[in-house]
């Protein structure tokens, strides 16, 4: 029977990131330096190198998002509790940031039923009314992006839109639409073009930005020594 040597979590993560970067080079996938931390974090989460090519960024999206987080007081609004649970709480605390999801709120359920929409749609509307400069995060529901597109046309200017829902119905179109609207209106956006995505991808993008803003991309600085 094989014997396994204990390896510290920080070392596992570091070695994983080294492997990812080497394999990106082998596949001749060139990632701009400013996007590399985000792309590697998503691949680390999914083991899917397609994200090296289908993750798209508006101009200076990463730099502007990091700067916004470093100002403090930012709020992430997610379209699933799964994405919410995956966002690093210690990193939020370091940056005086918060994260919220309204999907399970009875008032949202009632509103969605009364208006014939989805909870994700109503959640984004609620989030925008309370935190118009939030970072809006969609890893599951294209209707969340439809709501954001409508509100951007109405004048909403978020700090960032993360558009990575997964699926087959309205997914490709909603991501394309919100990304183009963000580009046209000088709003930072990160989107996974195509069908792929998910709440885990959404959380990994949030964490890549949080770690960058907090200066903890190195896992040793996050307390993963043991």
Which residues are identified as catalytic? 44
DSSP per position, 64-133: HHHHHHHHS--EEEES-HHHHHHS-HHHHHHTT-EEE--TT-HHHHHHHHHHT--HHHHHHHHHHHH-TT
Structure tokens at 40: 């590697």
Cβ-based neighbours of 30, under 8 Å, separated by 6 or more: 24
Nearest by Cα to 104 from 90, 89, 130, 85: 85
Put residue 163 in one of left, alpha, beta given phi > 0 → left and psi -120 to 50 → alpha: beta
Neighbours of 13 (CB within 10 A): 17
C-alpha Rg value of the chain to the nearest Å: 18
């Amino acid at each position: 029977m094989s014997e396994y040597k204990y390896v510290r979590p920080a070392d596992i993560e570091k070695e994983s990131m080294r492997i990812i970067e080497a394999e990106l080079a082998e596949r001749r996938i060139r990632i701009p330096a400013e996007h590399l931390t985000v792309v590697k974090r998503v691949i680390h989460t999914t083991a899917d190198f397609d994200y090296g090519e289908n993750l798209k960024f508006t101009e200076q999206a990463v730099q502007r998002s990091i700067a916004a987080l470093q100002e403090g007081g930012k709020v992430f609004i997610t379209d699933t509790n799964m994405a919410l649970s995956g966002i690093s709480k210690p990193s939020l605390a370091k940056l005086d940031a918060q994260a919220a999801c309204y999907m399970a709120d009875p008032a949202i359920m009632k509103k969605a039923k009364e208006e014939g929409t989805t909870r994700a749609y109503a959640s984004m509307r609620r989030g925008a009314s309370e935190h118009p400069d939030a970072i809006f995060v969609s890893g599951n529901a294209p209707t969340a992006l439809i709501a954001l597109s409508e509100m951007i046309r109405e004048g909403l200017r978020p700090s960032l839109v993360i558009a990575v829902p997964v699926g087959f119905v309205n997914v490709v179109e909603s991501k394309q639409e919100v990304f183009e609207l963000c580009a046209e209106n000088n709003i930072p956006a990160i989107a996974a073009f195509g069908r792929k995505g998910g709440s885990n991808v959404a959380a990994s993008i949030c964490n890549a930005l949080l770690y960058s803003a907090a200066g903890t991309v190195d896992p040793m600085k996050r307390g993963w020594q043991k």
